[in-house]
Amino acid sequence: MDRQRLQSSEKLIEVMDGEFIDLNLNSGIRLNMFDLEVGETKPTATKIKLILGCLELILKDDDKIGLPKRDKGLLEEAIFTCYRKAGDRIPQLSDLREILREHPVTDMRKYADILFSWTGETAFGRMLDGPSNVKLTKDLVSIEVKGLENYRDLKDIFLLLLTSYIKDEAASDLARPYLLIVDEAQRLFKSGSPMGREFAIDSFRVFRKYNAGIWCISQNYKDFLSDPDLADSLMPNTTSVFILRQRKIDWNDFKETFDFDDAVVEAAKSLEIVKRKFSEFLLIQDENIAVLRLESDPLSYRICTTDGNEKSEENALREKYPDRPLVEILNELAQGNT
C-alpha cells in the first residue's frame, strides 16, 4: 500500500481488517454482466435491463440518449440466444459478439465491430469478457473507481455491475445484512443509458427485500431531486435523508426543492461543524425532522481525518515505526503521546 496516497477509506479498511479494491485497467478485476443469481437458469427482466444498460453505454453514439427501440429489441433477442446456446455455462460478452457478427441485420453486425474493443484481451475486454473473479471475503469492503475516471463509459458500466453483484450477494444470503454505500451516487442514476438508469432505480427499490440497504451520497441535493421522475422513483423508497451543512446555495431553491417550511430551512442554516468536536446534520425520517450532532472520539477522528498537517504527522510515525499496526499509531496520535 502506498503510504503517501493513503486515503481515509483505506485507513478505515486497514484498521477494521477490511478489503480495499483499487479498480483500474490493471487491477485484474473482471465482472461478467451475464452472471445469474444462484438457482437461476435464465435471465430475469431485471438482468435483461442490466445487460441492455451496459450494452447501451458501449454501443450508442455519444450524441444519442440511448439506442433505438428496434435495436434494443434485436439485442434482447440476441441475449436470450446467448443463454440458450451457452447451455449449462454462463455466457460471456464475446459470445454475444459472435452472434451479432452473423446477424442478418446490418446494424447488429456493426455493433459486433464495436464490441471488439470490449472483448478478448483488449484493455476493456479483460475487465468485462470472461468469468467474474470478484470474491468479497471481508465484512467491510471499499471499492475505489477513480482509476476509471478517464474511461467514463467503463466506469458507469462497473457502477451498474457492482450494484448488481452486491444485490446478488445479498439475495444469496438473506440471514446476513448488507449495506451498499455509493459516493457520487448521481452517476448511478444519471448514466448515459436509459436502461441502466431503470436498472439502478429497480435495484434501489428492491434492496430492502434482501435484508440489505443502499445509501446514496452526493454533494448536491439537486442531483436526486431536480429531476421529477427520478425524485418520484427514489424518495418514496427512501426511509432516511441526511442533510449536512450547506454552503453557498440558493436557500429559496433549497426550500422549494424539499418543500420545507421556514423553520426547517432555518434549522438547516444553523448546522455547525467544530473540528475535532462535532458535526451537525438534519435527519428526515418519514414526517419527522430533527437536528442531530455527531461527536467523534479522538481515535475515530484520527481514522477519518483528511487534514494535511494531521496526515503528515501520521505519515512521519508510520515511517518511523513501519512494523507497528496502524491502529496503534493512530491511537497514540489521538492521545497526544507524540
DSSP 93-158: HHHHHHHHHT-SSHHHHHHHHHHGGGSTTSTTHHHHSS-------SSSEEEE-GGGTT-HHHHHHH
- Residue of 226, 234, 244 whose CA lies nearest to 292: 244
CB–CB of 167/201 below 8 Å? no
- Is 186 inside a domain boundary? yes
Residue 62: band (very low, low, confident or very high) from pLDDT cuts 50, 70, 90: confident
CB–CB of 193/53 below 8 Å? yes
**Residue at grid coordinates 485484474:** 28
DSSP annotation of 91 reads P
- Is 207 inside a domain boundary? yes
pLDDT tens for 241-263 read: 999 999 999 999 999 999 899 99
- Is 136 inside a domain boundary? yes
Rounded to an integer, the average pLDDT of 189-213 is 87
pLDDT of residue 2: 36
Range of the domain at 197: 31-238
Question: What's the CA gap between 244 and 273, in Å, rounded?
Answer: 10
Pairing between β-strand 141-144 and β-strand 19-22 as defined by DSSP bridges: parallel
Rounded to an integer, the average pLDDT of 68-82 is 97
Grid cell locating 199 = 436498472
pLDDT of residue 61: 92
In sign, the C-alpha dihedral spanning 119, 167, 66, 72 is positive
pLDDT tens for 206-227 read: 999 999 999 999 988 888 888 8
Rounded to an integer, the average pLDDT of 184-211 is 86
pLDDT of residue 9: 78
Report whether pLDDT(332) > 80.
yes
CB–CB of 243/221 below 8 Å? yes
DSSP 16-38: TT-EEEE-STTS-----TT---T
pLDDT of residue 8: 58
How many H helices and E strands in the chain?
16, 8
- Is 177 inside a domain boundary? yes
Rounded to an integer, the average pLDDT of 320-336 is 92
Other C-beta atoms closer than 10 Å to the C-beta of 175 total 5
- Residue of 242, 170, 156, 244 whose CA lies nearest to 203: 170
- Please, what is the average pLDDT of the chain? 91
Rounded to an integer, the average pLDDT of 116-139 is 95
Question: What's the CA gap between 221 and 244, in Å, rounded?
Answer: 10
pTM of the full predicted structure?
0.87
**Residue at grid coordinates 436526486:** 224
- Is 13 inside a domain boundary? no
CB–CB of 96/44 below 8 Å? no
Question: Which range among 30-34, 235-239, 264-268 shows the weakest confidence by mean pLDDT?
Answer: 235-239
CB–CB of 314/7 below 8 Å? no
- Is 137 inside a domain boundary? yes
* Share of residues in the chain with pLDDT > 70 (%): 97
- Is 124 inside a domain boundary? yes
CB–CB of 15/301 below 8 Å? no
How many structural domains is the chain composed of? 1
- Is 337 inside a domain boundary? no
- Residue of 285, 294, 223, 210 whose CA lies nearest to 257: 223
Residue 125: band (very low, low, confident or very high) from pLDDT cuts 50, 70, 90: very high
